[in-house]
Structure 1
């Protein structure tokens, strides 16, 4: 309560938000027991399916939807989390991602991270969605794409001399296929949003749009960045994502709700008897039965259980197992299935069935922190809709559509100025010493993979690509509601960690060691990013409303000061990747360009764990694109057909031209029962008392 009462001028607005969230959640709550037809109980399962998809998250539900378009194919999704029905009122409201998040509760894996020496051994946690829809159901909804330069670099790294399977053209097509883009409405154009319609999809299942309320301060973002040498990006989604822009978000503008893998790819489907989804089913291992003609192991069944003490059940596999459990879940399952580094598996008491040293290696993550500034009461009030949602076009529902969206990707020239060349030279010269001392594996192929990834990353330093992301945080910072943050996130770390196990029980969490800041270049990039954020906050027109730096404050000025502050404040940006990297076997790879696990005849991995390098972007959009293209690849292999044209995509109920000018008019206006409204008022009175 002290935080609320210390800002009495903003108390009415904060109470308004609380009341709005309570009533909005109640009005969106589905009727008890409502399930899409495809969500089933264990008693309804068949004994065998053509495809068993492990993980009903961002990629898994794309695959489920697309593969089940073939009526002669049976598909089962096994999801460890619950359906999300009981939390739909929270999930569906965009602003709840910040004000009423599901993170930290039963719908979040909350993976603990091994204490990191470079961060003062602080205890950290990686939030990941444990609910149907996965992290797309709980994330901040940024729909940001990587650039052509880095995607083509991935393709060349994954398949030297044969980069035609992936690359920009392939991923770009998948990302466009996944989305229906809706241009910004008149209500938010004061933010000077720039976009290129031709770079977006127009009939995909997932909506990519903008909130129907954006605070006026966002309009100062681009001009302030331009003043410090970072130009606006006129079309950040067509392959050149560097510079500043207002990002799209995965928001459905027909009713201003979250658009995520469940709502987009599953809930909108017509009845499909060949698709079933079982929730509360944690996959414990893959079962192999013999080898193929090529000598590879063949997965014949998938074992799962509802919890640690429950009986293990199995379902048979007719064609393929597809792991879509993310950068933590997919390697975890492979390891417990006996596929991975033999020394690790022997230590954990897991029988080695196939030695594959790269499983769990090459782990990379975006780390972030923020410089915080005070602002005026007037500016804080404008962020809270001027104290009244009546001033927002579309009213309460539009107000609750607001999420952070002003971003920029800043290159090394803007970060280091005249010292950029010296920084690049030092990074290049440190490759061999880094490979000798920083790789968390003794396997020669994994070390070679580190060198290859490092070499690509240091070459990209010479490109216009952003290596630090800068975000405008208008949602309350730890300094209170009258503060604004400028966040800094490292995009392409030179530090690589790993994921491993020390138990043979799948219900024991894996050990995650990202090796944060083990490479000095990462410290320098974050330091330069923090200095840049300070300079940006002192630059007009942002400086017209930012009244002084709160954190870290003027006491932090030297490089040592900045490094100490960064070590104490960084955390994850929620973007782990690369633990099942698409690389040649000689580079410690786990999957080939067809997404098949080396040494396994019928197991693929389709999720963010396969990207061998970190992209300068959020990972949701490229993961959707990956899953779309993977589905086409799998269907072509098994059924000699390609995926239907995007004009028949599920979930596309409106094209941009068909949307009303103020789409909020179509939002649900169902009344709230008196008992629910009384509960909301009771909560507010309790806070004021």
Structure 2
């Protein structure tokens, strides 16, 4: 609740001061007020940056979030309600090609409020590759594994598994984790008896089969070595709640890690919910670099308001939302924007290009009458590399990749800067796969979905590239999002190989001893044979039912301008003085991991860059 004196102070200062504080819904309370920083998007990265900037009591930050404050909604705070938010008002459900949609959280906390909470990190060399994509002058900018690892740990407050969790397969390596950050990571359940962590035979059996398939079982994959099978923790700011049991604390505090514990203390941090930023405002001078002065915001049925920024406007609206806001603001392909009646501010045609998204399928098998031993969530993931996934066909696939890079680059050039730039990028991606054994697929063991035994699969490192492009100057019209699913054959080949590996797993001891036979897709849909299903049948099934993983990246890529980058190593949009992007859209290449831990690291590093004045 706002104190009258605080409100009067804010109104009295008008445009001179943005002091208010707290989470608010009334746009008039911030209209025409001035803040040091305006952050567009109250998701994972936006709240992280705001939380770190407002550690300085003299800094005033306004966060504007299109969704509402749903922290008391069980769909948000209870991990066992995972999936219930999909397709509701809590989800942007961005329409994409081939009749698919891409999920994204439209609520305070963003996608971290509705995701599955898996806490994993990518391969060390994948982060190191980011430096290869920047200008040589940025070689010491810290965008590598060593730099990112420290920031990922800074965000984390890890609870090692207790004796009960260790007995069920959980493990950890202390040096891979942070212990003082805002984001709690642990195995289910923290604060309670460990009875709800799965303790049945299904997860150890899956891990044992993956070892038979050539993967090593690691105690902990969060040290930059994901090519393994491992029990993985969860970022249970998504609380493990069953009837709000004692010992877990308030779900409101647990949910939004950087905001909830401090919001009553940070008088310089105002979060406006239920309002969508419609464009960034710029100084009328057309000299480069362009200077942002604030933002315009509103609702589809209401009036528009303005808030002003003394220092910077920071985009944290996600890999679809951030390029959309830039394009609406006149930053993008000048010709395309002109056709919509939008005056060009910065001609930067690669805004919205280089989109990379993954494709998901789920396979299932019936189970014998065994006790699953808890309620999860599931915590066993296998990350096979190309050689483990393709087996005897791996050498042929390596040859195919190396011989196809040029053709793939040409085929995807319309979704990037140029074929020559993509050839450089694809070469780096290929080396990560071929030389560094970067995992190319995720096999996520799940219990009771889509049957008693289940495994969700997706290719991790697609070569297909897509675009995000507005089609209207109306900011409330979703952009056209074209993923170009499977437009490079490697992506489909990887998904087929992963499906075959899962089919084999159901037929391999000890998992086979728990299985009554594959039910999804089942042998009537994809007949089994010596190859565990033909390419044609797997292709038909995969294309009929796959969904987006909701890991879109790279639409405002942090790369050199010559390769098609949108932001530099300081996350500033090229040809602007004070507009930055801090979200998944800056990641230039996919990683072999879920995104949350990496995104917290990106936001932590961004906050330090901003505070240093770079």
Q: TM-score, normalised by structure 1?
A: 0.79
Q: Could you say which residue in structure 2 is the equivalent of 1:403? A: 377
**CA, structure 1 residues 142+422, in 2 after alignment: closer, same or farther (shift >3 Å)?**
same
Equivalent pair of 2:220/2:232 in contact (CA under 8 Å): no
Q: In structure 2, which of residues 277, 281, 292 is the aligned counterpart of residue 287 of structure 1? A: 281
After superposition, give the CA deviation of every residue in 1:269-289 in whole Å (9 maximum; x if it has no partner). 151211100001100000111
Q: Distance in 2 between matches of 1:156 and 1:258?
A: 42
Separation in structure 2 between the aligned mates of residue 163 and residue 338 of structure 1, nearest angstrom: 30
* Candidates 323, 330, 334, aligned match of 2:326: 334
Supply the distance in 2 between the matched residues of 1:131 and 1:615 (Cα, whole angstroms): 25
Q: Is the 8 A contact 2:151 2:605 kept in 1?
A: yes
SS in 2 for 1:604: strand
Which position in structure 1 is the counterpart of 2:492?
Answer: 523
Which of residues 438, 447, 452 in structure 2 aligns to 1:474?
Answer: 447
1:242 aligns with 2:227: yes
Task: Tell whether the 8 Å contact from 2:360 to 2:458 is kept in structure 1 after alignment.
Answer: yes
Say if 2:478 is the partner of 1:509: yes
Alpha-carbon spacing, 1:497–1:78, altered in 2? closer, same or farther (3 Å): same
1:451, distance to aligned residue in structure 2 (A): 1.9
Once the two structures are superposed, the pairs formed by residues 567-646 of structure 1 within 5 Å of their partners are 567-637=543-613
Tell whether the 8 Å contact from 2:71 to 2:252 is kept in structure 1 after alignment: no
Size of the aligned set, in residue pairs, is 568
Match of 1:185 in 2: 162
CA 1:567/1:59 → structure 2, altered by over 3 Å: closer, same or farther? same
Q: Tell me if 1:138 matches 2:114.
A: yes
More helix as a share of residues? 1
Partners of 1:362 and 1:578 within 8 A in 2: yes
Task: Summarize deviations over 1:424-468 as a string: whole Å, max 9, x none.
Answer: 121121122222223334x7x343432222111111122222100
Q: 1:295 Cα shift?
A: 2.2
Cα distance, 1:256 vs structure 2: 7.9
Tell me the equivalent position of 1:494.
Answer: 463
Q: Distance in 1 between matches of 2:598 and 2:457?
A: 21
Is residue 51 of structure 1 aligned with residue 37 of structure 2?
yes
How do 1:32-431 and structure 2 match up within 5 A? Answer: 38-40=22-24, 41-45=26-30, 47-85=33-71, 87=73, 89-98=74-83, 101-115=84-98, 123-160=99-136, 162-165=138-141, 166-212=143-189, 213-215=196-198, 216=200, 217-251=202-236, 255=248, 263-269=256-262, 270-291=264-285, 295-305=288-298, 307-376=299-368, 378-379=369-370, 382-383=371-372, 385=374, 402-431=376-405
Query: Alignment RMSD, CA only?
Result: 2.1
Change (3 A) 1:326 1:232: same
Which SS does the other structure have where 1:142 is aligned? coil
SS state at 2:204 partner: helix
Q: Which residue of 2 aligns with 1:32?
A: none
Deviation, 1:261, is 8.7
Please show how residues 425-464 of structure 1 align to structure 2 within 5 Å: 425-441=399-415, 445-462=417-434, 463-464=436-437
Q: Secondary structure at the match of 2:197?
A: coil
**2:412 and 2:419 in contact (8 A); partners too:** no
The residue number in structure 2 matching 1:551 is 520
1 CA distance for matches of 2:79 and 2:248?
11
2:517 counterpart SS class? strand
Q: Where does the alignment leave 5 or more consecutive residues of structure 1 unmatched? A: 1-35, 116-122, 386-398, 639-689
Aligned to 1:207, the other structure's residue is in SS state strand
Tell me if the contact between 2:253 and 2:260 (Cα under 8 Å) persists in the aligned partners: no
TM normalised by structure 2 equals 0.89
* Distance in 2 between residues matched to 1:335 and 1:261, nearest whole Å: 35
On the 8 A contact 2:359/2:547 being kept in 1, the answer is yes
The answer (yes or no) to whether the contact 1:133–1:261 under 8 Å persists in 2 is no
